[in-house]
Amino acid sequence: GSVTSHLQGLFSRTIALLSQGVEVVYVFDGAPHPLKLHTLSSRSQRRSDSAVRMNFAEKLASTFASHLQELKDANRHVDTGKDSSDPLLSWMRMRGYVNVRPTNGDGGHDP
């Protein structure tokens, strides 16, 4: 459900004050002051931006999970011969990411 810890805290403080004989008065004011409207607008914009970034991150994570599953699947089908001893390189070849040279030199891919 919803976060209610702030309400529980308010309730417990109210009970404590009432048990000490204190009369509790709550004051709820109206609309925010015009000077605060800029702050509220800024907060709203940050929340909106955060939602966009979260949506992007979720899509990125989903894509990564999909590629990871492809890697696992490719790992099951890898020929254990001399040329394909590394499942990651086999997967990268299948995806067309790199052209791996059969030597053990630096760089390991054609420009």
pLDDT in tens, 88-98: 777 777 777 76
Give the C-alpha separation, 34 to 50, whole Å: 25
Q: What pLDDT score does 107 carry?
A: 55
Question: pTM of the full predicted structure?
Answer: 0.39
85 and 52, same domain (yes or no): no
51 and 14, same domain (yes or no): yes
Contacts of 78 (CB under 8 A, 6+ apart): 84, 87, 90
Please give the C-alpha separations between residue 92 and each of 71, 83, 106, in angstroms, as whole numbers. Answer: 9, 14, 17
82 and 61, same domain (yes or no): no
43 and 93, same domain (yes or no): no
- Total of domains in the chain: 2
48 and 25, same domain (yes or no): yes
Quote the domain boundaries for residue 27. Answer: 5-69
Q: Is residue 70 over pLDDT 70?
A: yes
More confident residue, 90 or 16: 16
27 and 63, same domain (yes or no): yes
Q: What sign does the dihedral 13-19-22-24 (CA atoms) show?
A: positive
Terminal alpha carbon distance of the chain: 54
Res. 76 pLDDT band, cuts 50 70 90: confident
